[in-house]
Structure 1
């Protein structure tokens, strides 16, 4: 996918996107807010907690984790609850 503005979701895990310089990537994951998104590489700069802008040609990786299960109501003491997390990342190529 390529463009000036891209929204990525949990379903995009492992995908690669092309972005125009000065374009933006909006991250919309299950369980956010609360799941920090990290950026590796100088091609993207963080604009806000879940929005990144293409600042130079190159490649960057956005990574995070989110709850694998929906947020359950508080479980009674001694019962089982789902605490698993799903690792997530996308690669963004800025042109």
Structure 2
């Protein structure tokens, strides 16, 4: 009978890889995903709860017959988004406005927010931006779909030799439907 054992180098490699991955996602000063040091578990107070759709999933949800698509999100005329809204699908009424603030740092800056499609038109967000943050506003000008996107490095970008660095990117995306 052959006996299977893990070699010390295999265990060490797995432990190092796990620690590296955990370190890249960690933020200095707190556990919030938006870089502020505090978790943001709820959307902005100005967003009505009826406008908060659940993230679509391939599995049917409890109480929903199998194969039934999830209900489309209720539309609202004004919405404010943060980094915590990553992956959401939202609905905005024509003539409405969507504003967003992604809190970053000098070491982990957000790239400028871009919008795909013709449904949204860039508007003046009207506030000063701190280094690393991305702030944007869009007017809903016509019915259709748009996608808002931004990204930032997962790990601080250090120029000093011997400091940990990684090339991972955190992506932020929100799908917007204008009706």
> Per the shorter chain, which TM-score range?
0.7 to 0.9
Indicate the residue corresponding to 1:45 in structure 2: 121
Pick aligned residue for 1:58 from 122, 140, 144: 144
The alignment status of 1:35 with 2:111, answered yes or no, reads: yes
Gaps of 5+ in 1: none
Query: How many residues align structurally?
Result: 93
Higher relative contact order (CA 8 A, sep 6+): 1
Looking at CA atoms only, which structure, 1 or 2, has the larger radius of gyration?
2
Query: Is the strand fraction higher in 1 or 2?
Result: 1
Query: Is the helix fraction higher in 1 or 2?
Result: 2
TM-score, scaled to structure 2: 0.45
Gaps of 5+ in 2: 1-50, 52-74, 125-134
Distance 1:43 1:83 in 2: 33
Q: RMSD of the TM alignment (CA)? A: 2.4
User: In 2, are the aligned partners of 1:39 and 1:63 still within 8 Å (CA)?
Assistant: yes
